[in-house]
Amino acid sequence: MRIHFLRHATLVVEIDDLHILVDPMLSRAEAMAPVANAANQRRIPLVDLPLADVELDYMLDHIDAVLVTHTHRDHWDDRAVELLPKHIAIICQPEDAAKIAQAGFSAVDPVAARLEWRGVEFSRTGGRHGTGEVGQRMGPVSGFVLRAAGEPSLYIAGDTIWCDEVQQALQTFQPDLVILNAGAAQFLTGGPITMTADDVCQVCRALAAAQVIAVHMDAINHCLLTRRDLRNTLDREGLAGHVRIPDDGALIEF
């Protein structure tokens, strides 16, 4: 398995000779208005993709499927809708299937619980995109566990904080690899809606055998936890060896 991390939550998983694009936010830097009600009003994304346009076109030509954990614009933006071929397989949570189909995509596969696709098993997991009223306003989100014969199992937790649903997914699937959306995204009111540094530590302690990859930082204006802050916390807690924090464009092989 190889994971090509691009930016924020956007990455390509190479599994069983297939290329699966996850949560495509393909907009150029500052192309979108900032997330409102945040501590700053910087336009997003804060940084460009680590690909020239010709490289992005080549990558998209070789994608076999797209996995969309949810359709907030930092995971599924207008440029992704524009650039992705409309016949490509889109795997998503049931709540987003109609929206994606209405955008012109003809091969939308919602996952209620489990989906078998070209030798890869997708199991959907729960999560909480924040707490209280803010969490409710964020709407439904999902994680996904990917498994294929002869490959490490991969849990993509999606936009969630540490919660019972994440703990249950770790206990049920015992994944070899875990991708966490960190960043501690937060509005001016309410608590974090993605994982804080302490949440990442909780995951490490809950499944010590797993390799954790922390992403979702330094690209969106309301994600206040930086890579540097997370590294400092992991060092202090003695957990740095459990977590990879890739730079944009990094290629991770297992």
* Banded model confidence at residue 135, pLDDT cuts 50, 70, 90: confident
**Domain map of the chain by residue range?**
2-246
Distances from the Cα of 70 to the Cαs of 25, 83, 172, 187, in angstroms?
12, 18, 22, 19
Q: Does pLDDT of 241 surpass 90?
A: yes
pLDDT in tens, 145-203: 999 999 999 999 999 999 999 999 999 999 999 999 999 999 999 999 999 999 999 99
pLDDT at 233 over 90: yes
> Are 87 and 66 in contact, with CB atoms under 8 Å apart?
no
pLDDT score recorded for residue 136? 87
- Both tokens of residue 25? 């936010």
Position 240 scores a pLDDT of 97
Which residue shows structure tokens 């440029």?
79
Q: Read off the DSSP letter of residue 42.
A: -
Residue (of 132, 9, 16, 106) closest to 67 by Cα position: 9
- Domain spanning 2-246, CATH architecture: 4-Layer Sandwich (3.60)
Burial of 9 (C-beta count, 10 Å sphere; 0-12/13-18/19+) = buried
Q: How many CA atoms lie within 13 A of 22 on its CB side?
A: 32
137 compared with 236, residue with greater pLDDT: 236
**Sign of the C-alpha dihedral computed for residues 93, 97, 103 and 105 taken in this order:** positive
By the 8 A CB rule, do 143 and 160 touch? yes
Q: State pLDDT tens for residues 1-53.
A: 999 999 999 999 999 999 999 999 999 999 999 999 999 999 999 999 999 99
Q: Is the pTM of this model over 0.85?
A: yes
